[in-house]
Amino acid sequence: MKYEHRILTLGLLAGLAGSTMSLFLLLESNYAVRTQVTLGVLITAVWVGVAFALQSKVVFPLRTLSNLLGALREGDYSLRARGARLDDAMGEVIWEVNALAESLREQRLGAMEATALLRKVLAEIDVAMFGFDSHQRLQLVNDSGKRLLGRTDEELLGCRASELGLADCLEGETPRVLDIALPGGSGRWELRRGDYREKGVSHQLVFLSDLTRTLHEEERRAWTQLIRTVRHEVNNSLTPIQSVADSLRAIVARRPLPQDWEEDLKGGLELIAERSEALARFIGAYSRLMHLPQPAFSRVDVAQLLRRVADLETRMDVTVEDGPSVQVRADRDQLEQLLINVISNAVEASQQSHPAGDGRVSISWRIDTGVLEVRVDDDGPGLAEDTNAFVPFYTTKQQGSGIGLALSRQIAEAHHGSLTLANHPNNPGCRATLKLPLGA
């Protein structure tokens, strides 16, 4: 039996006793037959009418709530039910449903705004993004991905990864670099993957970043900096050579020769030789920087290496503080050259601030989360321009080549480590920090 029929039946049963008693008393009365029939019909009509009215009072609000919930299910959050009150049961239910509709409307607006923002971001980023379902079928792609594959949404969605040439992107470790040739472009791409869920089903996100353009830009910057440096160094040598050569040519062309022409000639030739040697040193320094051999790894005792390098410094006593007993996989010769360069710079900086020889240079080391950290501290003037410290051929020394720190950092990076320089926060001087991984 339907719910509304049960309500009607309960209403009829509720008035059955009173109506039956009224009809019985009416029949036992002395009224005329016509009056008895009229009153009987009236009593029955009132009885049935009240039962139907009760059914309507119960069923109508429920149908209203049902329609409102149906609208919410369909995504229409604009409807509201009347009769919301907090002082009776049905009004309280209507009030809660209206509040639910308002909350869902606000959430939908927020979701729509977030989705619009996400689509805008995905459309603008210069990274190709693809979403594949568990059957490796494409379900999501942004504008960069469509340009890379050279197809539209209708042509791409639903295609398998193997059909698009992206099957390798769903396998293997990430992040990694791939060489991929696709209709919209070819070159080196950085691959990254992630997971997301849609309707309870797991999907994979694939991100492809074009490294070719970035590499070309970095290569252009490197060439620009190299050409600027080489031009500066060559001009520094060729300009005085050309000037002295012109002067000597003019002296030799004089008739008669001046009395001191031999001294002028000798001095000019010495200057030409000096600048030629400086240019040769520059070319040699560049060659050493560009041809650093691959490290030959072996087990190196850190304490022994640091004390050995400190003993090689004769201009100042270098203090080696106690540290943990540890070995690291490294090329002993290259690591020794790195430390010699760093300690030499620290000693020269300390002597610059302490000409009397009372400067201090110390070496310490520690282990931090699987990383060896070697520190070289000095009490010199510190770094005036720390951004130029590792630029090749940049130097503040009169006789410096400008490759010591650049070569040292190159050695550290070849050992999968790093070399940094920073001024002491509260004291004068600088700290060079070498970090090397302890793992194999």
Query: 23 with 70: CB under 8 angstroms?
Result: no
In a domain, 331, yes or no: yes
Clarify whether residues 430 and 348 are in a common domain: yes
- Are 319 and 410 members of one domain? yes
Q: Does residue 85 form part of some domain?
A: no
Tokens of residue 268, six digits:
């000019």
Sheet of strand 318-320, all strands in order from the earlier edge strand to the far edge: 318-320, 361-368, 371-378, 430-437, 418-423
Identify whether 98 is part of a domain.
no
Looking at the structure of the chain, the number of domains it has is 4
53 and 135 in a single domain? The answer is no
Which of the listed residues 270, 290, 310 is the one where a domain comes to its end? 290
- CATH code, domain with 209: 3.30.450.20
3-state helix, strand, coil in the chain (%, to 5): 55, 20, 25
Last residue of a domain, one of 214, 246, 273: 214
Last residue of a domain, one of 76, 111, 139: 76
261-290 helix and 211-253 helix, angle to the nearest 10 degrees: 170
Residues 341 and 425 in one domain: yes
One domain, residues 254 and 190? no
Domain assignment present for 89: no
SS3 204: strand
- Read off the tokens for 289: 């920087």
For residue 103, tell me if it sits in a domain.
no
Query: Which residue, chain included where needed, has tokens 């809660």?
Result: 96
Give CA–CA dist 150/144, Å, rounded.
10
Is residue 303, in this structure, part of any structural domain at all? Answer: yes
Q: Is residue 117 part of a domain?
A: no
pLDDT per position in the chain (440 positions), as tens?
777 778 778 887 888 888 888 888 877 788 787 887 888 888 888 888 888 888 887 777 778 778 888 877 777 777 777 777 777 777 788 788 888 888 888 887 877 777 677 677 766 677 888 888 888 888 888 888 888 888 887 888 888 888 888 888 888 887 887 777 777 766 778 888 888 777 777 788 888 887 766 666 666 676 666 666 667 667 766 777 777 777 777 777 777 777 777 777 787 787 777 777 767 766 665 665 555 678 888 899 999 999 988 888 878 888 899 999 999 988 888 888 888 888 888 888 888 878 777 888 999 999 887 889 999 999 888 876 544 555 554 454 544 445 667 778 888 888 888 888 888 888 888 999 999 988 64
Token readout for 91 is 């009004």
Domain that holds residue 183: 126-214
* Whole-structure pTM value: 0.43
